[in-house]
Amino acid sequence: MTGRRQGPRKAVLSRESILRAAVRLADDDGVDGLSMRKLAEGFGATAMALYRHVGNKDDLLDGMVDLVFGEIEIPRDGGWRAIMRQRAVSMRAALRCHPWAVGLMEARQPSMANLRYHNTGLACLRTEAGLPIGDAIAAYNLMDSYVYGFALQEKALPRDIAAEARARRDALTGADPSLAEQFPYLIEVVDELAASGYDYNEQFERGLDVILDGIERLRQ
């Protein structure tokens, strides 16, 4: 006797499955394209069914940001410089995977993953680097500002910097050749980028070294 044919099983609804699906949607379409209705469609459910697991859109965003914080590697040993470097590199990697999160990481309600990330970073500067509290705060704020700022710039700038630089140089000098004389240092930067391109990884590491060198001077 042949049993009744089963249709495709619906995905199981839970808070975690909803948050992870929301992160995937935001990765593909941006956070502005995320809606409870669209999210529910992926589960073959209604938007109201999602509200049994997430309170509202704000609760959804808080949970999504918490997942991104949870992806950041938090090393425990290796010396203060290695620890702070790896935290920064890992944060940038998470923001590259989830560019929609740039600007939201510190704007949502603090989660356990958020608190853990910040607490361990400050602990490293206070205990491993031995900075007094005022210097630790300044150094930590600078590190965070650099990582978030670089991620925002990386999100906004074109992938092919060399091609973009050549196009802008040609447009500027073609429209007004005197611009090269009025803004020689800007033209110098454009020429350098047009010739050599721009390696985001290399530039991020170089900027990070400048900051870490500055923290080392604070320690001394």
Task: Assess whether 194 and 145 both reside in one domain.
Answer: yes
Q: What's the number of domains the chain is made of?
A: 2
Predicted local distance difference test score (pLDDT) of residue 159? 78
Q: Is the separation of the CB atoms in 26 and 100 below 8 Å?
A: yes
Q: Is the separation of the CB atoms in 72 and 90 below 8 Å?
A: yes
Does position 78 have pLDDT exceeding 80, yes or no? yes
Quick check: is 82 in a domain?
A: yes
CATH code of the domain containing 177 = 1.10.357.10
Long-range contacts formed by 203-206: CB under 8 A, 24+ apart: 204/89, 204/92, 204/150
Quick check: is 108 in a domain?
A: yes
CATH code of the domain containing 45 = 1.10.10.60
Quick check: is 8 in a domain?
A: no
Distance CA(53)–CA(110), nearest Å, equals 19
Task: Assess whether 85 and 22 both reside in one domain.
Answer: no
203: domain range?
69-219
Quick check: is 91 in a domain?
A: yes
Does position 151 have pLDDT exceeding 50, yes or no? yes
Does position 82 have pLDDT exceeding 60, yes or no? yes
Distance CA(190)–CA(165), nearest Å, equals 5
Quick check: is 100 in a domain?
A: yes
Q: Which two tokens stand for residue 184?
A: 């020689």
97 compared with 192, residue with greater pLDDT: 97
Report the 10 Å Cβ neighbour count for 57.
12
Task: Assess whether 43 and 92 both reside in one domain.
Answer: no
Distance CA(22)–CA(155), nearest Å, equals 20
Q: Is the separation of the CB atoms in 163 and 156 below 8 Å?
A: no
Distance CA(218)–CA(19), nearest Å, equals 41
Predicted local distance difference test score (pLDDT) of residue 191? 84
Mean per-residue pLDDT of the chain:
88
